[in-house]
A and B are shown apart, each in its own frame.
Chain A
Amino acid sequence: MLDRSKIGHEFDSFSIDIEQGRLKFFAKAIGETNPVYSDELAARDAGYKTIPAPPTFPMVLDMEGPDFLPVLKLLGMDISRILHGSQEFEYTGTIYAGDTITVTSKLKDVFDKKGGALEFVVMENSYTNKNGELVAVAANTLVYRNP
Protein backbone atom coordinates (compact mmCIF):
# COMPACT_ATOMS: atom_id res chain seq x y z
CA MET A 1 0.00 0.00 0.00
CA LEU A 2 1.18 3.50 -0.76
CA ASP A 3 2.18 5.62 2.23
CA ARG A 4 -0.85 7.65 3.36
CA SER A 5 1.28 9.74 5.71
CA LYS A 6 2.54 11.65 2.65
CA ILE A 7 -0.92 13.13 2.02
CA GLY A 8 -0.58 16.90 2.13
CA HIS A 9 3.02 16.87 0.91
CA GLU A 10 3.86 19.98 -1.08
CA PHE A 11 6.38 19.56 -3.84
CA ASP A 12 8.98 22.24 -4.61
CA SER A 13 7.46 24.75 -6.99
CA PHE A 14 9.21 25.48 -10.28
CA SER A 15 8.90 28.01 -13.09
CA ILE A 16 8.78 27.40 -16.82
CA ASP A 17 9.20 29.80 -19.74
CA ILE A 18 6.43 29.23 -22.26
CA GLU A 19 8.16 29.33 -25.61
CA GLN A 20 6.09 30.05 -28.69
CA GLY A 21 7.76 27.18 -30.59
CA ARG A 22 6.78 24.75 -27.85
CA LEU A 23 3.13 25.83 -28.10
CA LYS A 24 3.17 25.47 -31.89
CA PHE A 25 4.69 21.99 -31.60
CA PHE A 26 2.06 20.98 -29.04
CA ALA A 27 -0.71 22.32 -31.32
CA LYS A 28 0.70 20.25 -34.18
CA ALA A 29 0.89 17.11 -32.02
CA ILE A 30 -2.80 17.33 -31.12
CA GLY A 31 -3.77 18.05 -34.74
CA GLU A 32 -4.95 21.54 -33.90
CA THR A 33 -5.87 23.44 -37.06
CA ASN A 34 -7.33 26.61 -35.52
CA PRO A 35 -4.75 29.30 -36.51
CA VAL A 36 -5.18 31.01 -33.13
CA TYR A 37 -2.86 28.34 -31.71
CA SER A 38 -0.04 28.78 -34.20
CA ASP A 39 -0.27 32.24 -35.78
CA GLU A 40 0.30 35.34 -33.69
CA LEU A 41 -1.75 37.59 -35.99
CA ALA A 42 -4.70 35.21 -35.98
CA ALA A 43 -4.48 35.06 -32.19
CA ARG A 44 -4.53 38.86 -31.92
CA ASP A 45 -7.40 39.13 -34.37
CA ALA A 46 -9.34 36.75 -32.13
CA GLY A 47 -8.74 39.00 -29.13
CA TYR A 48 -5.82 37.16 -27.51
CA LYS A 49 -2.66 38.95 -26.36
CA THR A 50 -0.62 36.49 -28.42
CA ILE A 51 -0.69 32.72 -29.04
CA PRO A 52 -2.54 31.01 -26.14
CA ALA A 53 -1.73 27.57 -24.76
CA PRO A 54 -4.53 25.05 -25.48
CA PRO A 55 -6.78 24.01 -22.56
CA THR A 56 -4.89 20.86 -21.58
CA PHE A 57 -1.43 22.48 -21.74
CA PRO A 58 -1.13 23.10 -17.96
CA MET A 59 -0.73 19.33 -17.51
CA VAL A 60 2.26 19.49 -19.86
CA LEU A 61 3.93 21.88 -17.42
CA ASP A 62 3.60 19.31 -14.63
CA MET A 63 6.16 17.23 -16.51
CA GLU A 64 8.71 20.04 -16.66
CA GLY A 65 9.96 20.02 -13.09
CA PRO A 66 13.36 18.72 -12.01
CA ASP A 67 11.88 15.22 -11.64
CA PHE A 68 9.41 13.57 -14.04
CA LEU A 69 6.20 13.06 -11.99
CA PRO A 70 7.90 13.57 -8.58
CA VAL A 71 5.01 11.82 -6.82
CA LEU A 72 6.37 8.53 -8.19
CA LYS A 73 9.56 9.00 -6.19
CA LEU A 74 7.74 10.30 -3.10
CA LEU A 75 5.51 7.22 -2.92
CA GLY A 76 7.95 4.74 -4.48
CA MET A 77 5.61 3.97 -7.39
CA ASP A 78 6.54 1.87 -10.42
CA ILE A 79 5.80 3.88 -13.57
CA SER A 80 4.68 0.78 -15.51
CA ARG A 81 1.74 0.35 -13.12
CA ILE A 82 0.22 3.83 -13.32
CA LEU A 83 -2.76 4.90 -15.40
CA HIS A 84 -4.34 8.31 -15.64
CA GLY A 85 -7.72 8.12 -13.88
CA SER A 86 -9.14 11.60 -14.26
CA GLN A 87 -8.15 15.18 -14.93
CA GLU A 88 -9.87 18.44 -14.06
CA PHE A 89 -9.03 22.01 -14.96
CA GLU A 90 -10.53 25.24 -13.75
CA TYR A 91 -9.48 28.38 -15.64
CA THR A 92 -9.16 31.88 -14.25
CA GLY A 93 -6.92 33.16 -17.00
CA THR A 94 -4.93 32.20 -20.08
CA ILE A 95 -1.37 30.95 -20.49
CA TYR A 96 0.35 32.80 -23.34
CA ALA A 97 3.52 32.37 -25.35
CA GLY A 98 6.17 34.44 -23.58
CA ASP A 99 4.74 33.87 -20.10
CA THR A 100 6.70 32.40 -17.25
CA ILE A 101 4.45 30.05 -15.31
CA THR A 102 5.09 28.85 -11.78
CA VAL A 103 3.70 25.40 -11.00
CA THR A 104 2.89 24.41 -7.43
CA SER A 105 1.86 20.89 -6.66
CA LYS A 106 0.49 19.07 -3.66
CA LEU A 107 -0.43 15.46 -2.89
CA LYS A 108 -4.11 15.89 -2.09
CA ASP A 109 -5.24 12.35 -1.34
CA VAL A 110 -4.44 8.65 -1.58
CA PHE A 111 -7.18 6.03 -1.34
CA ASP A 112 -7.89 2.53 -2.59
CA LYS A 113 -10.70 0.49 -4.13
CA LYS A 114 -11.32 -3.16 -4.89
CA GLY A 115 -9.66 -4.35 -1.67
CA GLY A 116 -6.46 -2.48 -2.44
CA ALA A 117 -6.07 -3.82 -5.99
CA LEU A 118 -6.30 -0.24 -7.23
CA GLU A 119 -4.97 2.80 -5.42
CA PHE A 120 -5.79 6.37 -6.40
CA VAL A 121 -3.32 9.21 -6.04
CA VAL A 122 -4.81 12.70 -6.29
CA MET A 123 -2.60 15.69 -7.05
CA GLU A 124 -3.63 19.32 -6.96
CA ASN A 125 -1.65 21.74 -9.09
CA SER A 126 -1.84 25.47 -9.60
CA TYR A 127 -0.39 27.69 -12.31
CA THR A 128 0.55 31.34 -11.75
CA ASN A 129 2.05 33.79 -14.25
CA LYS A 130 4.82 36.30 -13.59
CA ASN A 131 2.28 39.01 -12.69
CA GLY A 132 1.15 36.81 -9.83
CA GLU A 133 -2.15 35.96 -11.55
CA LEU A 134 -3.45 32.47 -10.94
CA VAL A 135 -4.40 31.25 -14.42
CA ALA A 136 -5.50 27.68 -13.76
CA VAL A 137 -5.85 24.99 -11.12
CA ALA A 138 -5.93 21.30 -11.87
CA ALA A 139 -6.69 18.04 -10.11
CA ASN A 140 -5.05 14.95 -11.49
CA THR A 141 -5.87 11.41 -10.32
CA LEU A 142 -3.47 8.58 -11.06
CA VAL A 143 -4.57 4.96 -10.76
CA TYR A 144 -1.99 2.51 -9.41
CA ARG A 145 -2.47 -1.14 -10.33
CA ASN A 146 -1.24 -3.40 -7.54
CA PRO A 147 -0.15 -6.90 -8.58
Chain B
Amino acid sequence: MSDITVGIEIPSLNLPSISRSTLALYAGASGDHNPIHIDSDFAKKAGMPDVFAHGMLSMAYLGRMLTDWKPQSQLRKFSNRFATITQLQDVITCSGKIVELFEEGGEQRARVEIVAVNQDNICTLIGEAVVAL
Protein backbone atom coordinates (compact mmCIF):
# COMPACT_ATOMS: atom_id res chain seq x y z
CA MET B 1 0.00 0.00 0.00
CA SER B 2 3.01 2.26 -0.45
CA ASP B 3 1.09 4.14 -3.16
CA ILE B 4 -1.39 5.39 -0.56
CA THR B 5 -0.08 8.37 1.34
CA VAL B 6 -1.56 11.46 2.94
CA GLY B 7 -2.25 14.11 0.35
CA ILE B 8 -2.88 11.87 -2.65
CA GLU B 9 -6.15 12.14 -4.51
CA ILE B 10 -8.31 9.14 -5.29
CA PRO B 11 -9.68 8.89 -8.86
CA SER B 12 -12.46 11.43 -9.34
CA LEU B 13 -15.86 10.75 -10.87
CA ASN B 14 -17.44 12.98 -13.54
CA LEU B 15 -21.19 12.78 -13.97
CA PRO B 16 -23.56 13.71 -16.77
CA SER B 17 -25.80 16.72 -16.09
CA ILE B 18 -28.80 16.22 -13.80
CA SER B 19 -31.95 15.92 -15.90
CA ARG B 20 -35.59 15.53 -14.96
CA SER B 21 -35.37 11.88 -15.99
CA THR B 22 -32.36 11.36 -13.68
CA LEU B 23 -34.58 12.56 -10.82
CA ALA B 24 -37.64 10.55 -11.87
CA LEU B 25 -35.53 7.41 -12.13
CA TYR B 26 -33.89 8.04 -8.77
CA ALA B 27 -37.25 8.75 -7.10
CA GLY B 28 -38.59 5.43 -8.34
CA ALA B 29 -35.52 3.39 -7.48
CA SER B 30 -34.89 4.94 -4.07
CA GLY B 31 -38.47 5.11 -2.84
CA ASP B 32 -37.99 8.81 -2.09
CA HIS B 33 -41.16 10.13 -3.70
CA ASN B 34 -41.01 13.57 -2.09
CA PRO B 35 -42.72 15.61 -4.85
CA ILE B 36 -40.20 18.44 -4.38
CA HIS B 37 -37.86 16.36 -6.58
CA ILE B 38 -40.30 15.34 -9.30
CA ASP B 39 -43.20 17.77 -9.50
CA SER B 40 -42.36 21.30 -10.71
CA ASP B 41 -45.74 22.71 -9.63
CA PHE B 42 -45.20 21.43 -6.10
CA ALA B 43 -41.61 22.73 -5.97
CA LYS B 44 -42.65 26.21 -7.12
CA LYS B 45 -45.44 26.35 -4.54
CA ALA B 46 -42.81 25.50 -1.91
CA GLY B 47 -40.84 28.57 -3.00
CA MET B 48 -38.18 26.78 -5.05
CA PRO B 49 -37.30 27.79 -8.62
CA ASP B 50 -38.01 24.24 -9.80
CA VAL B 51 -37.54 20.63 -8.75
CA PHE B 52 -34.06 19.90 -7.47
CA ALA B 53 -31.94 16.79 -6.98
CA HIS B 54 -32.21 14.43 -4.04
CA GLY B 55 -29.19 14.93 -1.80
CA MET B 56 -28.92 11.17 -1.60
CA LEU B 57 -28.42 10.94 -5.36
CA SER B 58 -25.22 12.98 -5.07
CA MET B 59 -24.21 10.99 -2.02
CA ALA B 60 -24.65 7.83 -4.11
CA TYR B 61 -22.30 9.37 -6.69
CA LEU B 62 -19.70 9.92 -3.94
CA GLY B 63 -20.26 6.28 -2.98
CA ARG B 64 -19.58 5.21 -6.59
CA MET B 65 -16.30 7.08 -6.51
CA LEU B 66 -15.31 5.38 -3.25
CA THR B 67 -16.22 1.86 -4.36
CA ASP B 68 -14.52 2.39 -7.73
CA TRP B 69 -11.38 3.09 -5.71
CA LYS B 70 -11.65 0.34 -3.06
CA PRO B 71 -14.15 -2.52 -2.73
CA GLN B 72 -17.23 -1.67 -0.71
CA SER B 73 -16.35 -4.40 1.81
CA GLN B 74 -13.49 -2.09 2.91
CA LEU B 75 -15.72 0.93 3.49
CA ARG B 76 -16.15 1.57 7.23
CA LYS B 77 -17.71 5.04 7.48
CA PHE B 78 -19.24 7.40 4.99
CA SER B 79 -20.76 10.74 5.88
CA ASN B 80 -21.51 14.11 4.39
CA ARG B 81 -23.24 17.41 4.85
CA PHE B 82 -25.50 18.68 2.07
CA ALA B 83 -24.02 22.13 1.56
CA THR B 84 -25.84 23.53 -1.48
CA ILE B 85 -28.90 22.33 -3.37
CA THR B 86 -28.09 20.53 -6.63
CA GLN B 87 -30.24 22.10 -9.32
CA LEU B 88 -31.48 20.70 -12.62
CA GLN B 89 -28.78 20.67 -15.32
CA ASP B 90 -26.00 20.88 -12.74
CA VAL B 91 -22.89 18.92 -13.71
CA ILE B 92 -21.45 17.24 -10.65
CA THR B 93 -17.87 16.11 -10.14
CA CYS B 94 -16.83 13.99 -7.16
CA SER B 95 -13.32 14.00 -5.78
CA GLY B 96 -11.48 12.82 -2.72
CA LYS B 97 -8.16 13.23 -0.98
CA ILE B 98 -6.49 11.14 1.71
CA VAL B 99 -6.06 13.25 4.82
CA GLU B 100 -5.01 10.68 7.43
CA LEU B 101 -3.68 7.15 7.72
CA PHE B 102 -4.32 5.40 11.04
CA GLU B 103 -4.86 2.06 12.70
CA GLU B 104 -8.21 1.08 14.18
CA GLY B 105 -9.94 -2.24 14.82
CA GLY B 106 -6.67 -4.05 14.03
CA GLU B 107 -6.51 -2.71 10.49
CA GLN B 108 -4.88 0.10 8.57
CA ARG B 109 -7.39 2.73 7.56
CA ALA B 110 -7.43 5.88 5.50
CA ARG B 111 -9.58 8.92 6.15
CA VAL B 112 -10.65 10.46 2.88
CA GLU B 113 -12.00 13.97 2.55
CA ILE B 114 -14.68 13.85 -0.14
CA VAL B 115 -16.48 16.57 -2.00
CA ALA B 116 -19.03 16.98 -4.77
CA VAL B 117 -18.92 20.25 -6.71
CA ASN B 118 -21.06 21.67 -9.49
CA GLN B 119 -19.94 23.27 -12.77
CA ASP B 120 -19.29 26.59 -10.97
CA ASN B 121 -17.01 24.78 -8.51
CA ILE B 122 -19.50 25.32 -5.68
CA CYS B 123 -19.48 22.51 -3.11
CA THR B 124 -22.78 20.68 -3.03
CA LEU B 125 -21.72 17.92 -0.63
CA ILE B 126 -18.75 17.81 1.67
CA GLY B 127 -17.84 14.90 3.87
CA GLU B 128 -15.48 12.10 4.68
CA ALA B 129 -15.07 8.37 4.41
CA VAL B 130 -12.98 5.85 6.31
CA VAL B 131 -11.68 3.00 4.19
CA ALA B 132 -9.69 -0.06 5.31
CA LEU B 133 -6.55 -0.59 3.27
Chains A and B come from one and the same complex = yes
Q: Which residues of A contact B (CB under 8 A)?
A: 22, 25-26, 28-32, 34, 36, 46-48, 52, 54-56, 59-60, 63-64, 68, 79-91, 94, 139
How many angstroms from the CA of A139 to the CA of B78 in the assembled complex? 11
Q: Is the CB of A55 within 8 A of B67?
A: yes
- Near A by CB (< 8 A), chain B positions 41-75 give 42, 45-46, 54-57, 59-61, 63-64, 66-68, 71-73, 75
For residue B28, which residues in chain A have a CB less than 8 angstroms away from its CB?
25, 29
How many angstroms from the CA of A86 to the CA of B75 in the assembled complex? 18
Give chain A nearest CB distance to B68 CB in angstroms. Answer: 7
For residue A88, which residues in chain B have a CB less than 8 angstroms away from its CB?
77-80
Give chain A nearest CB distance to B74 CB in angstroms. Answer: 10
For residue B76, which residues in chain A have a CB less than 8 angstroms away from its CB?
90-91
Q: Is the CB of A87 within 8 A of B55?
A: yes
With A29-B28, A31-B15, A34-B67 as contacts: A56 and B60 at CB distance below 8 Å: yes
- 4 new A-B pairs (CB below 8 Å) besides A26-B29, A54-B72, A87-B56? A29-B28, A30-B61, A31-B64, A87-B80
How many angstroms from the CA of A140 to the CA of B36 in the assembled complex? 19
Q: Is the CB of B82 within 8 A of A84?
A: yes
Q: Is the CB of B82 within 8 A of A52?
A: no
Q: Is the CB of A91 within 8 A of B63?
A: no
Of residues B16, B34, B72, which shows the largest number of chain A Cβ atoms within 10 Å of its Cβ? B72
